[in-house]
A = this chain, B = another copy of it.
Amino acid sequence: MKRTITAAITALMASAAIAQGPAAPPDPAASDPIALGWMQGSPPAPDKTVHWVDGSFYKFPATRWSFAHWNQLIPASDIWRGDGRVAALPRAERKDIAGISFQPANGGATMTWEQALAANYTDAIVVLHRGRIVYEKYYGAMSPQTRHIAMSVTKSFIGTLGEMLVAEGKLDPAAKVVQYIPELKDSGYAEVTVRQVMDMTTGVKFSENYADTSSEIWTYARAGGVLPRPAGYSGPQSFYEFARTVQKDPDAAAGAFRYQTVNTDVLGWLIRRVTNKTIGELLSERFWTKLGMERDAMIAVDPSGNEFAGGGLILTARDMARFGEMMRKDGKFNGQAILPKAVVDTIRKGGDKEVFARAGYAALPGWSYRDMWWVSNDDHGVFAARGVHGQTIYIDPKAQVVIARFASSPQAANAVTDPVMLPAYRAVADHLMRR
């Protein structure tokens, strides 16, 4: 068992290392998981079989299959779509989008939209313009009905839920977290407010640096069952037990924005505490039963059954686009009010730009972070949900565009692909605005 755990950690670290190293990434065209035979056959060949316990599920190019089959690897709970009708997304497909060309921000040569998608390991892409599908494509193991792990795009669903509860007066952003969750009184969250949790300015000690084996992310992942636990593991049994062990970081600057996934699980805990419902129940009641979703979604759970608010959502690209479209329309979808406009306004207002700038996201100049959303503060009012390996909901209100994208980039960090994909998204939006 110890050996398989080590392998799992090595696989994850290799993935992180690629993100930081200068080595050329693998050839995207050669990484189609179906062509490569990953999990194909009856049964698949042993060397093309993905396992969770040895970490092979998280090793590129197996990830191109795993990300599209997450609940086959990790237990997950249900997000029911209800028994209502599917809200069909009208189609107005445009052949001119594929060839839209743009200049990457990294000094690379001009490329087209379709080149950018392929080169960046896209698994699924849906582009809505004024609520209609103008472009849609699936790669590798994906299809319109296939659910993909959303990684940290999940956080924006949770942040939106949180802001909805604020609007309803059920959650006070100025209150201390421990007012709702006394269990955190001896942790680094003792003095932290709800607003600080929602905006990731908590000042807790939690490093998300995969390349450092002493990072808190490792204990966190084991507590949450995201990674196998070593033999004799006696650490925290859940995300929430882990959160109780988190310390205050004496070196954290007051009010600093630091992207720490554990904060989202604390927000998830707050949401559950004030509603006495599970995250799955809430996502079903608030979004899945109301947005005419095509499929039930799922959300990964930790070994104690708590949903992984920081990154566990498993859903289809079209359903992700529906959620984005609702946000673009200030909380309305299909003529129904899903959430108050004030919630979207609060999110779109963004966080403190100075504070964000100090966090060093070179690919995101002028951006800020608010309610678990990334806010560009640009001339189009773009805001986005973002997850590692390329997952995103990109919302451009001025261009009336929503882009939902799943990917399995070998690099975890979006900093690697942002210089290509952000200009690509903008080019499509500009093009659609013009004609």
CB distance from A72 to the nearest CB of B (A): 5
Contact residues in B for A272 (Cβ distance below 8 Å): 42-43
A83 CA to B81 CA, complexed, in Å: 13
Give chain A's interface secondary structure class: loop
A43 CA to B303 CA, complexed, in Å: 12
CB distance from A123 to the nearest CB of B (A): 16
Contact residues in B for A237 (Cβ distance below 8 Å): 51
Q: Are A43 and B238 in contact (CB under 8 A)?
A: yes
Contact residues in B for A219 (Cβ distance below 8 Å): none
A301 CA to B66 CA, complexed, in Å: 14
Contact residues, A42-58 vs B (CB, 8 A): 42-44, 49-53
**Contact A1 to B43, CB < 8 A, known contacts A72-B77, A304-B51:** no
Contact residues in B for A275 (Cβ distance below 8 Å): 42
Contact residues in B for A269 (Cβ distance below 8 Å): 42-43
Q: Are A42 and B276 in contact (CB under 8 A)?
A: yes
Contact residues in B for A305 (Cβ distance below 8 Å): 39, 43-44, 49-50, 69, 72
Q: Are A74 and B75 in contact (CB under 8 A)?
A: yes
Contact residues in B for A238 (Cβ distance below 8 Å): 43
Contact residues in B for A100 (Cβ distance below 8 Å): none
A231 CA to B3 CA, complexed, in Å: 11
Q: Are A52 and B276 in contact (CB under 8 A)?
A: no
Q: Does A286 contact B (CB under 8 A)?
A: no
Contact residues in B for A86 (Cβ distance below 8 Å): 83
Query: Contact string, A230-256, partner B, CB cutoff 8 A, digits 1/0?
Result: 011100011010000000000000000
Contact residues in B for A74 (Cβ distance below 8 Å): 75
Contact residues in B for A94 (Cβ distance below 8 Å): none
Of the A-B pairs whose beta carbons lie under 8 Å apart in the complex, a sample of 22, sorted by A's number, is A1-B1, A1-B229, A1-B231, A42-B272, A42-B275, A43-B305, A43-B306, A44-B304, A49-B304, A50-B305, A52-B75, A52-B303, A53-B303, A69-B305, A71-B71, A71-B77, A72-B78, A72-B301, A73-B75, A80-B295, A231-B231, A296-B296
